[in-house]
């Protein structure tokens, strides 16, 4: 998977290329992350990358020329017809389904804007999709871009190793994850649910599915709305709701 990142702060992207499973994925060549800095493509002698907004108002916008030149270089380094995504509060909300789509592309160029944003004509002409990581404003698109790099990289075969399917289990099914426990068996009087120490894998599988369903019902009923439950799932959820006095 190829990621091109247009950013004024390439060192920020080290947070995904130099730590954890994404670092190993870079080292193994499973993913490639290229940063292109618009500041390297400024034409004015002061190296400005921002400019005042037409119509007045506070703040600055990213200048068009350095951004477009950086994009041109990114396209030249990326596979042909690589799609361009701009991280922005005006974008579609990032979710598992969109992460899956981006992974299927095989490559993506991510624009991490700074200042108050970027010129609409760059969005119209150069950007295939605006993506938002949530309804809040950040100082730049780098953190959202790294969310995409991390989430998409986890879908690349070999990046997660054998916990791959464990990850796929619940969220790919559109459910929240079940509660998890490790040693000790008891902390401050709180015990690990007995079923998890029963060694009965059928019971454990059902208990976990029941927890996924119950927690999704309680915390994210919207996720259950467009999900057909199997007979077993319906039974497990009803049982959970009775036990939790719903
Ligand atoms: C400065 N802003 C508002 C801006 C405006 C337009 C583009 C980029 C930016 C950079 N900031 C971002 C980016 C993304 C998100 C998000 N929710 O995904 C929040 N903030």
Q: What is the pLDDT of residues 67-111, one digit of tens each?
A: 999 999 999 999 999 999 999 999 999 999 999 999 999 999 999
Q: What is the pLDDT of residue 167?
A: 62
Mean pLDDT in residue range 124-140: 98
What pTM does this model have? 0.95
Q: DSSP letter at 134?
A: S
* DSSP annotation string for 53-79: PTT--SS-EE-HHHHHHHHHHHHHHSP
Determine the distance separating the centroid of ligand 1 and the alpha carbon of 129, expressed in angstroms.
14
Q: What is the pLDDT of residues 16-27, one digit of tens each?
A: 999 999 999 999
Cα–Cα distances in angstroms (integers) from residue 112 to residues 80, 138, 227, 240, in the given order: 21, 11, 34, 44
**Residue 134 pLDDT > 80, yes or no?**
yes
User: Which numbered atom of ligand 1 lies nearest the CA of 138?
Assistant: 20
**Ligand 1 contacts CB of residue 136 (under 6 A):** yes
Q: What is the pLDDT of residue 185?
A: 98
* DSSP annotation string for 168-206: HHHHHTT-PPPP---S-SEETTEEPPGGGGS--HHHHHH
Q: DSSP letter at 118?
A: B
**Ligand 1 contacts CB of residue 134 (under 6 A):** yes
Mean pLDDT in residue range 122-139: 98
Q: What is the pLDDT of residues 189-238, one digit of tens each?
A: 999 999 999 999 999 999 999 999 999 999 999 999 989 999 999 999 99
| Chain centre to alpha carbon of residue 234 | 30
Q: What is the pLDDT of residues 29-70, one digit of tens each?
A: 999 999 999 999 999 889 999 999 999 999 999 999 999 999
Q: Say if residue 125 is exposed, middle or buried (CB neighbours under 10 Å; 0-12, 13-18, 19+).
A: exposed
User: Which numbered atom of ligand 1 lies nearest the CA of 132?
Assistant: 18
Confidence class for position 246, pLDDT limits 50, 70, 90: confident
Q: What is the pLDDT of residue 34?
A: 98
Mean pLDDT in residue range 181-193: 98
Q: What is the pLDDT of residue 67?
A: 98
- Residues with Cβ within 8 Å of residue 10, at least 6 apart in sequence: 35, 37
Q: What is the pLDDT of residue 168?
A: 60
Which residue's alpha carbon is at the smallest distance from atom 6 of ligand 1?
117
Buried b (16+ CB within 10 A) or exposed e, 160-196: beeeeeeeeebeeebbbebeeeeeeeeeeeeebeeeb
Q: Which of 63, 98, 141 to mutate to test the pocket of ligand 1 (most atoms within 8 A of CB)?
A: 141
**Ligand 1 contacts CB of residue 112 (under 6 A):** no
- State the catalytic residues: 89, 116, 154, 169
Q: What is the pLDDT of residue 226?
A: 86
Q: Of 73, 74, 69, nearest to 32 (Cα)?
A: 74
Residue 43: count other Cβ atoms within 10 Å of its Cβ: 10
User: What is the Cα–Cα distance from 138 to 231, expressed in whole angstroms?
Assistant: 44
User: Which numbered atom of ligand 1 lies nearest the CA of 113?
Assistant: 8
């Amino acid at each position: 998977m190829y990621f091109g990142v247009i950013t004024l702060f390439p060192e920020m992207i080290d947070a995904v290329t130099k730590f954890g499973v994404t670092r190993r994925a870079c080292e193994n060549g499973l993913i490639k992350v290229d940063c292109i800095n618009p500041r390297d493509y400024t034409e004015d002698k002061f190296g400005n990358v921002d400019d005042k907004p037409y119509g007045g108002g506070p703040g600055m916008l990213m200048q068009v020329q350095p951004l477009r030149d950086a994009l041109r270089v990114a396209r030249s380094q990326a596979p042909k017809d690589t799609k361009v995504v701009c991280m922005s509060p005006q974008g579609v909300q990032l979710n598992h389904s969109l992460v899956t789509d981006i992974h299927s592309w095989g490559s993506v160029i991510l624009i991490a804007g700074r200042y108050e944003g970027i010129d609409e004509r760059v969005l119209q002409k150069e950007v295939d999709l605006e993506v938002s990581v949530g309804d809040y404003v950040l100082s730049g698109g780098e953190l959202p871009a790294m969310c995409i790099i991390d989430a998409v990289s986890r879908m690349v075969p070999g990046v997660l190793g054998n916990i791959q399917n464990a990850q796929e289990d619940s969220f790919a099914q559109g459910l929240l994850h079940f509660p998890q426990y490790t040693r000790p068996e008891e902390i401050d009087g709180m015990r690990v649910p007995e079923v998890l120490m029963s060694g009965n894998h059928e019971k454990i599988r059902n208990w976990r599915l029941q927890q996924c369903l119950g927690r999704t019902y309680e915390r994210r009923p919207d996720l259950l709305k467009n999900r057909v439950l199997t007979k077993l799932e319906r039974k497990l959820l009803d049982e959970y709701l009775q036990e939790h006095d719903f």
